[in-house]
Amino acid sequence: MSDIIELVKKARQGDEQAYTELFRQHEADIYRTAYVYLGSQEDALDVVQETAYRSFKAIRSLKEPRYFKTWLLQIAIKYAIDLLRRRKREAQWNPDYLDRITVAGEGEDVPLAISLQDMIETLSPEEKHVIVLRFYYDFTIREAAETMRVPLGTAKTLLYRALTKLRQRVEEGDGHAFKSN
C-alpha cells in the first residue's frame, strides 16, 4: 500500500513513469469492468485508453492516494456509462449474438459467463453498477454507495432490485445456463 501512495505522490508531481506504473497495475481491472458494462472488446479497450488519458490529466485532483484504484474505476465506469447513453439512441445488432442464439437453439449449452453477461445487460445502468462493484470487486455495500456517490439506502435498494430481477429471470428460464436440458 505504501508503494502505491508513494507512486501517486510522484505522479501528482508530474512523474509520468510513476503514473504509468500505477496505471498498469490496474489496467486489467479497468478492462474487465468496461467489458462487463459494454460487452465489447473494442469498446472496453476504448474505455481503458480514455481512462488512462482522463486520469493522467486529473491525477492532481485525487484527494486520497490509497483510493487510486477506486478512483480509476469511477472514471472508467463513468465513461462506459456515457458510451452506453450515447449509443442507446442507436439500434445495434451484434452479429456474434446470432451465433449464440443458433448454438443455444441446437441444444448445446450456452456458457455460464455469456448467460450471466446477457442477464446483467438487462439491468439499468445503476443496477449494473452496484452489481459489478459488489460482486465483481467485492466492495461492501457502503463502499459501492461511496463509489457511486449515492446514499447507502439507495445503494441497498438498487442491489436488492437488481438481485430480484436477476432471480426472476433465472426462475422464468431466461438464464439458459441455469436450466438443464
Residue 44 within any structural domain of the chain: yes
Q: How do residues 8-19 score in pLDDT, each as one tens digit?
A: 888 888 888 989
The verdict on residue 15 lying in a domain is: yes
pLDDT (tens digit, 9 = 90+) per residue, 117-141? 677 778 888 888 888 888 877 788 8
- Tell me if 152 is assigned to some domain: no
- Per the CB < 8 A criterion, the answer to whether 110 and 104 are in contact is yes
| Half-sphere exposure at residue 106, Cβ-oriented, CA atoms within 13 angstroms | 7
The CA-atom distances, in angstroms, between 60 and each of 3, 16, 143 are 18, 13, 22
Residue, of 175 and 173, whose pLDDT is higher? 173
Report the pLDDT value the prediction gives residue 147, as an integer from 0 to 100.
Answer: 80
162 belongs to a structural domain:
no
pLDDT of residue 181: 35
Place of cell 481512462: 51
Q: Long-range pairs for 67-72 at CB < 8 Å and ≥24 separation?
A: 68/4, 68/8, 68/22, 68/26, 69/26, 69/29, 70/143, 70/147, 72/23, 72/26, 72/29, 72/30
The CATH number covering residue 48 comes to 1.10.1740.10
Tally of domains within the chain: 1
pLDDT digits (tens, 9 = 90+) for 47-94: 999 999 999 999 988 888 888 888 998 899 889 888 877 776 544 444
Answer yes or no: is 6 within a domain. Answer: yes
pLDDT at 23: 92
Q: What is the mean pLDDT of the chain?
A: 78
By residue range, what is the domain housing residue 45?
A: 1-92
Q: How confident is the model at residue 170 (pLDDT cuts 50, 70, 90)?
A: confident
Residue 86 lies in a domain: yes
Residue 99 in any domain: the answer is: no
CA dist., res. 163 & res. 174, Å (int): 14
Q: For the chain, first and last CA: distance in Å?
A: 48
- Examine residue 142 and state whether it is found in any structural domain, yes or no: no
